[in-house]
Amino acid sequence: MKNSPIKNFLSLVKFSHTLFALPFALVGYFLALEFSVYQFDWTLLVKVILCMVFARSAAMAFNRYIDRDIDAENERTAAVREIPRGVISPKAALIFVFVNSALFIVTTYFINTVCFYLSPIALMVILGYSLTKRFTALCHLILGLGLSLAPIGAYLAVTAEFSWIAVYYSIAVLFWVAGFDMIYALQDEEFDRSMKLHSIPAAIGPKNSLRLSELFHLITAIVLVVAAFKTEANLFYWLGTALFIVLLIYQHTLVKSNDLSKVNLAFFTTNGIASLIFSIFVIGSFYLR
């Protein structure tokens, strides 16, 4: 049975993977409430979630649009991605990008002026990521930078002011995402080399990439521990941090340089569960004192 257009677009942007960054946006929102005089506002929370969804949808659709010819050449993606399969046209995907980008900017306008003025810069980062594999192996860090805007953006939505507390979580997200994206990119190491595309696995090989990914996740763990001290975390918070770090370690036991059969388990399932658990425990810690 042919999928509906809505299902095709949800698949195009891998809507379910919003789970990676959305929990950290929620952490940023509730951090702002915890460390400021502002009160909980359902309307503002909905706007923050909408910004997250619109921005990520624009970024993913743009990635699929820009990479449509590359995806058609890649055996791993040619038969599963919507534009190479012909279920979504390049023009429709690009319109989808413009619509979601516009909705993102409009939504920030109704949050506060700081978020509104910064919204084009945020879009430049998250859309620009899709071009970076053409000239730098640091593309994984650019992806991490894009998702790292979630906690600090949510904090700004509440307070309209920068805070180092939110920055700690943004740094943690940057290295967390870059680390697991490097693992995912192992699947395309040979293809990237053949197409003269840039990635860390293509540049330094699988073994070194896994070691670097471990280093990035070690940095993530250290930053989260520092953040826990800075926020004078309680036991519930520390438990969430510990579980997150355990899942970081677990994903590295799943993938070997000569065995990539469990990459999807490491990339999608483990990281999605880790971010969800972390956000539940961190947000819960603010109310369970």
Domains and CATH numbers, the chain: 7-285 (1.10.357.140)
CB of 210 closer than 8 Å to CB of 180: no
Enter the pTM of the model: 0.93
Largest CA distance in the chain: 55
The per-residue pLDDT for 200 is: 97
Average pLDDT over residues 218-223: 97
pLDDT (average), residues 242-271: 86
Residue 160: CA count within 13 A, CB half-sphere: 12
Distances (CA, A) of 98 to 91, 101, 105, 256, 289: 11, 5, 11, 39, 44
pLDDT (tens digit per residue) in 24-75:
999 999 999 998 889 999 999 999 999 999 999 999 999 999 999 999 999 9
Backbone phi and psi for residue 255, each to the nearest 5 degrees, phi listed first: -115, 130
Average pLDDT, the chain: 91
**What is the pLDDT confidence band of residue 289, given thresholds at 50, 70 and 90?**
low
